[in-house]
Amino acid sequence: MKVFLTGGTGFIGRHVVRALLERGDDCVVVSRQDANPWDDDRVRVVRGDPTRSGPWQSALGGCDAVINLAGAPLVDPPHRWTTARKNVIRASRVQTTLTMVEAMRAAAPAPAVLLSSSAVGYYGSHGDTTLDETAPPGTDFLARLCVEWENAARTAQDVARVVLLRTAPVLGPGGGVLAPMLTPFKLGLGGAWGSGTQWWSWVHIADVVGIVLFALDGTLTGAVNVTAPTPVRVAEFVEALGDVLGRPTFARIPEFALRLALGEAAETLLASQRVLPRRAQDGGYTHRFPELRPALAEVLGR
């Protein structure tokens, strides 16, 4: 299979490309840089800005599938969502997806599959309610963004099978949600944020890759939650991380401090989202890391 990727040089993208190569696929990666971090002649890096139409779009010719993983970071490094920042976040997701679909339509033949990123932020904050793919969207900025992002991908439905990957915060070595946490936790300065009682969905990078390949090769369409089957409360996550690191977790970041520092962006940390990967499991996917502590231990080499 020949796969075209946006966001291929990002944290998730690098793992997905590596897995595709390991199973014998060829990859075409659009990037703003010329460098090929894989040093493999089965990866072709095409320089371009995926938020804009351009010569890079012709590289989709001959590709069997598209995996759209592009998206500017939401809160890493921490920053407020100014109007300018929101525009960057939106363009990196919605506009990239629209230009990708434009390129798919121009390809002859069009790639048969589009796997397009979304996020569990689609659901907004729902307290203790269990959420699967049938739950309605929230109304905050991130939820509305996810709706627009997914709708952009759905415009390809008449030419390709479309899968919307609603991904939880990812645990993995060298990146993901743990990267900004490790230093304070190792120093004994880690702790819960907000009330600590809000539900927090998570997923190991191995299962992100696993569900991506499962969706790529299978028959799934529409929304698929890319999460572990065991969401935890923030306080449980913090305790597990502290235990794995062997460090105390007495510190706490109160809600008012997060809102003061991050403004609206604080909702990404304070929202309560108890999201389950119903469609992946019903389709037959088996998680490699269904439980939090073994997942943390593997990531941290403990």
Whose CA is closest to 38, among 48, 25, 55?
25
Q: Is 174 strand, coil or helix? A: coil
Average pLDDT over residues 99-116: 95
Which H or E run contains 249?
A: none
pLDDT tens by residue, 17-66: 999 999 999 999 999 887 788 888 999 999 999 999 999 999 999 999 99
pLDDT value of position 111: 97
CB 137 within 8 A of CB 123: yes
Q: List the alpha helices (DSSP H) in the chain.
A: 11-22, 83-90, 96-106, 141-154, 182-186, 205-217, 234-245, 255-262, 267-270, 278-282, 292-300
- Assign 170 a pLDDT band (cuts: 50, 70, 90): very high
Report the distance separating Cα 291 and Cα 302, nearest Å.
15
Length of the chain: 302
β-pairing, 2-6 vs 65-68, is: parallel
Whose CA is closest to 234, among 197, 276, 201, 265?
197
Report the distance separating Cα 19 and Cα 103, nearest Å.
25
Average pLDDT over residues 250-276: 92
Average pLDDT over residues 268-273: 93
Q: How many CB atoms lie within 10 A of CB 83?
A: 6
Is pLDDT of 76 > 80?
no
Average pLDDT over residues 226-254: 96
Query: What's the token pair of residue 231?
Result: 């969401």
Is pLDDT of 282 > 80?
yes
Is pLDDT of 12 > 80?
yes
Report the distance separating Cα 43 and Cα 268, nearest Å.
34
Is pLDDT of 245 > 90?
yes
CATH 1.10.1500.10 describes domain 2-172+203-228+275-289:
no
Query: What's the token pair of residue 125?
Result: 């904050």
Average pLDDT over residues 1-16: 96
How much is the pTM?
0.95
Location of structure tokens 């991380």: 241
Average pLDDT over residues 143-172: 97
β-pairing, 251-253 vs 191-193, is: parallel
The whole-chain average pLDDT of the chain stands at: 94
Provide CB contacts within 8 A for 238, sequence distance 6+: 190, 191, 192, 196, 249
Is pLDDT of 77 > 80?
no
Average pLDDT over residues 233-243: 97
Query: What's the token pair of residue 71?
Result: 């998206």
